Structure 1
Amino acid sequence: MKKNILLATFVGLFFSGNVLAQDLSGTWQQIDDKTGSPKAIIEIRKEANNTFTGKITKVTPRPGYTPRETCNNCPAPYTNQPILGMDVLKGLKYVEGTHNYEKGRVIDPLAGKIYDAKVKLSASGKRLTLRGYVGISALGRSQTWLRLD
């Protein structure tokens, strides 16, 4: 009887941790792929349609950099939208049985460009790699984001 309870507890903890590691929801520190400096704080939330959306909640000050306040040369509906509070990541869908999310879109508010996006979440759930690309994944750049919560 004690063995069954212990086994059930272990299995429950194992699977609940696994589920949490697969959820992107939370607060993330965006790291600049060129300089390695923190860029912004992004809050990712799960939408009713089971996709994930990421919003800029804070722009991180960096030495020698004056942050922009509005989206630069951005297409509608982002035209002249404030960067703070902007949904920069949209439509990511979880790929069943993996730590991957695909079919998203990400906007670079400094360049005004929209890219296809996919994300790979680390096994621990504390780090993600976002790949923004045009057409095929090989034609893009990756950024690392660190979970803050």
Structure 2
Amino acid sequence: MSDEATRLIAAARQAALNAHAPYSRFAVGAALLLRDGSIVTGANVENASYGLSLCAETVAIATASAAGRLRDVVAVGVIGGAMDADGRPTGTGPVSPCGRCRQVLNEAAQLGGIDLPVHCGAAEGDAVRSWRLSELLPAAFGPGDLGLA
């Protein structure tokens, strides 16, 4: 695993501990690496009205955007797993972003002019799979299609 992936997976694991997932009992953490080396994280936030729930990647992107750093995202790390009795995510299989999150990540990628590396890790263990966002979301629609990137 690269140093970048190691840092991001560790930060995503820490963020997942703050997940509010009482309905699915599936905690997800996301970490974004910014151009200056800093990391922004997010955890999923579920809502009793399920459609209003927020994915960890979306929370992290919104946090970066609120700080004026949306164009500074250069890599992503994601982990997830079923929660144990103490609320900690478990599992040894890597988890990748859902389709909605891939599209949200694409916004930052196109604005920043980068094909984001996406490191997908497991809640436990060393299993990590890495892709470029373009592999996870081929022929993506984004700001470039509107002449904005």
Q: Which has the higher strand share?
A: 1
Verify same fold: TM over 0.5.
no
The higher radius of gyration belongs to 1
Query: TM-score of the superposition, structure 2-length normalised?
Result: 0.31
Query: TM-score of the superposition, structure 1-length normalised?
Result: 0.31
Q: Which has the higher helix share?
A: 2
